[in-house]
Structure 1
Amino acid sequence: MISEAMEDADRVLVDLGNRSYDILIGDRLVDRAGKEIAERFPGARAAIVSDETVASLYLEQLRNSLASAGVDSAAIIMPPGEKTKSFEHLMTVVDEILAARLERRDIVIALGGGVIGDLTGFAAGVVRRGMHFVQIPTTLLAQVDSSVGGKTGINSARGKNLIGVFHQPALVLADTSVLDTLSAREFRAGYAETAKYGLIDQPEFFAWLEGNWKDVFAGGEARRRAIATSCRAKAAVVAADERESGARALLNLGHTFGHALEAAVGYDSSRLVHGEGVAIGMVLAHQFSVRLNLASVDDARRVEAHLADVGLPTRLSDIPGDLPPPDRLLEHIAQDKKVERGRLTFILTKGVGQSFVAKDVPASEVELFLKEKYGQ
């Protein structure tokens, strides 16, 4: 059935056979969420998981939309911030879903950014051995990246996203109008993930962003185009490699360094948020590629210059406070999910839009590189 929202929103299909789902991208989709959900899940009830900040802005709007479509809902409100991705908060969400007496064919809705999406998806994946899951991402980062692809999870003291399951959503509603309430810092953080798609294998998209990033920040058609292009890129990769056994690993460009930096600051969002870690990580990945004689200095400088132009941190020295020594940062890198049998795996590059998976990267080379960067 083609709904009203699908007629005036961009539609991206994540093609996974009988588990395929739509990503809808457009204005005021929160208002139309009830209709979209009721059409796909007639008779279902819902639990909405959100955080205190997002709930104060959009929870009533979403519940009204659901109620108008005949969907009964319960609300589960979490504290904001990366530290919410913990066993403690996972158990709270699980318990409240069960307390609401939701059944296996009912729906769990994530209304929030990447933290809420990851936590909610994990809960939906394990409650009753798997419930329907809908993503309504409210940050740019979540709209272009974390809401798509089925990766869910929580953090460990030993690293980011080390505990979780693959559990695909049944629908993603990327409401571009909610991004107007984001802080400049959070929007920039999401932009880092948007730029990532150009740096992986779409150099023409990265060049377009270099010339149009101010329009993306301003909103309107450029923003919607950037989000839709990012979602199409991720959907294609997920459809080809759902569980990250090959090409999907490319989506982690910048993340090996970035996740290690997040762990190094104790997931303290006042010092570093995820997209900022990714921005620094992508610059480091390009610079490390230069060190290994894989890419040109000019390309690495081009990447750093663009991310700095939009206001993102690009150097270790841009992170407030002290960082642990390079050998400790290397320990965090060694906990990365892409490590295989103790061998370090990085996403490196031969230039803008020419990323590849590099296995068996010598830890000694990484440590020497980090020592150089600590001195800059």
Structure 2
Amino acid sequence: MSEPVTVQVRAEHDYDVLIGSGLLDRLPALVGDGVARVFLMHPPALAEQAAAVAGRLTAAGYGVRTHQLPDAEQAKTVETAAGCWAALGQNAFTRTDVVIGLGGGATTDLAGFVAATWLRGVRVIQIPTTVLAMVDAAVGGKTGINTDEGKNLVGAFHSPGAVVCDLDWLRTLPEADLRAGMAEVVKCGFIADPRILELVEADPAAAMDPAGPVLAELIRRAVQVKADVVSADLKESSLREVLNYGHTFAHAVEHYEKYRWRHGEAVAVGMVFVAELAHGAGLIDLALLQRHRDVLTALGLPTRYRPGVWEELRTAMGRDKKTRGATLRFVVLEALARPTRLVGPDPALLDAAYAAITGE
């Protein structure tokens, strides 16, 4: 078992993000002493893997209750959360016990939310199994569920006790999911670490190879970007909003598409939308706008969206967490790795950015 890379996040309590291979044997030490029970949440596709994790924890002396969730965003409902609360109560989970989220971003979002709300907060350990979850959802302590009105509108800030990014999980990840997760990696390149973009541009195939060193380096760099931002602004009072680059439009797309689009696919289009917006506002040049399209296209991610639904998307964006009153606020770039905010942009700029990504 090789030594993992460790990235520390400073929060209400500091915690480590472990990045490496063969990390399952480290899990009992992370759960720690004084814990009687572990509540292990997982999606259906990871039932076999969850059994292996449960077996390792049982052998270490913990009582383990596995709890299967619906697939993907279907898990992030108040009904699913209530089912978790019921199981925790029926199995007498106390404040000294631990919740573990094993899965992608939807699973880690829900696991964090359930942990934040059970007995007003119990410890959670996240085991992300997708690129998206490793670099974004599992790190930072933002938890939440969806409602009919929008994505992640109900949630809590609840930092994990640890995050275990075992890169071995990625070897069996469907290519479409790996590709979608790369949108969040690219986002970190545009807002903070241009070396990420250079690595992707130099060899897109290597960037997508789950067994190779390039993807491991990209994940480490993206986690470091998020750790740096979260450590400086835990509860999204100012700086942390930059991590939402492309997300205002992306969440509107996800809501309109009833979550049939993968999150990363929507973020890819969302980044092009805000790049068009920044270019239209005179903040970035044409070369940086085109670089968005080129990098995302090299990874096989979408850069266009359907025409004819602008009013629906505009309404959904009005419910975004960054909106204040009726004023839309977007994270944009004023240069590479220099994010800023565009507050209340002219409606004509918004219309033009939407037209540009639809090809109208």
TM-score, normalization: structure 1?
A: 0.91
Provide closer, same or farther for how the CA distance between residues 342 and 370 of structure 1 changes in structure 2, counting only shifts above 3 A.
Answer: same
Match of 2:4 among 4, 9, 12: 9
Deviation at 1:55, TM superposition (A): 1.9
Give the letter aligned to residue 32 of structure 1: R
Deviation at 1:368, TM superposition (A): 4.3
Q: Deviations over 1:108-164 (max 9, x none)?
A: 000010001111111110110101111000110000111011100011111110011
Give the letter aligned to residue 226 of structure 2: K
User: What is the match of residue 228 of structure 1?
Assistant: 220
Deviation at 1:35, TM superposition (A): 3.2
Match of 1:213 among 178, 181, 204: 204
Deviation at 1:324, TM superposition (A): 5.8
Measured in 2, the distance between the counterparts of 1:116 and 1:70 equals 25
Deviation at 1:327, TM superposition (A): 1.2
User: What is the match of residue 91 of structure 1?
Assistant: 82
1:172 aligns with 2:163: yes
Match of 1:26 among 6, 17, 20: 20
- The answer to whether the Cα contact below 8 Å between 1:326 and 1:371 also exists between their aligned partners in 2 is no
Measured in 2, the distance between the counterparts of 1:191 and 1:150 equals 20
Deviation at 1:364, TM superposition (A): 4.8
Output the aligned Cα RMSD.
1.6
User: What is the match of residue 351 of structure 2?
Assistant: 367
Give the letter aligned to residue 184 of structure 1: E
Deviation at 1:77, TM superposition (A): 0.3
User: What is the match of residue 299 of structure 1?
Assistant: 288
Match of 1:131 among 100, 122, 129: 122
Q: Deviations over 1:244-290 (max 9, x none)?
A: 0111000000101111100111112xxx1000000111111111111
User: What is the match of residue 269 of structure 2?
Assistant: 280
Provide closer, same or farther for how the CA distance between residues 211 and 289 of structure 1 changes in structure 2, counting only shifts above 3 A.
Answer: same
Q: What are the equivalent positions in structure 2 for 1:1-376 lying under 5 Å apart?
A: 8-16=3-11, 19-38=13-32, 41-56=33-48, 58-218=49-209, 219-268=211-260, 272-317=261-306, 325-376=309-360
Q: Deviations over 1:278-308 (max 9, x none)?
A: 0111111111111111111111111111111
Total equivalences in the alignment: 359
Show structure 1 runs of 5+ residues with no match.
318-322
Measured in 2, the distance between the counterparts of 1:241 and 1:209 equals 28
Show structure 2 runs of 5+ residues with no match.
none
TM-score, normalization: structure 2?
A: 0.95
Give the letter aligned to residue 14 of structure 1: V
Measured in 1, the distance between the counterparts of 2:359 and 2:213 equals 42
> What's the secondary structure of 1:142's corresponding residue?
helix
Measured in 2, the distance between the counterparts of 1:94 and 1:367 equals 44
Give the letter aligned to residue 215 of structure 2: R
- The answer to whether the Cα contact below 8 Å between 2:277 and 2:349 also exists between their aligned partners in 1 is no
> What's the secondary structure of 2:96's corresponding residue?
coil
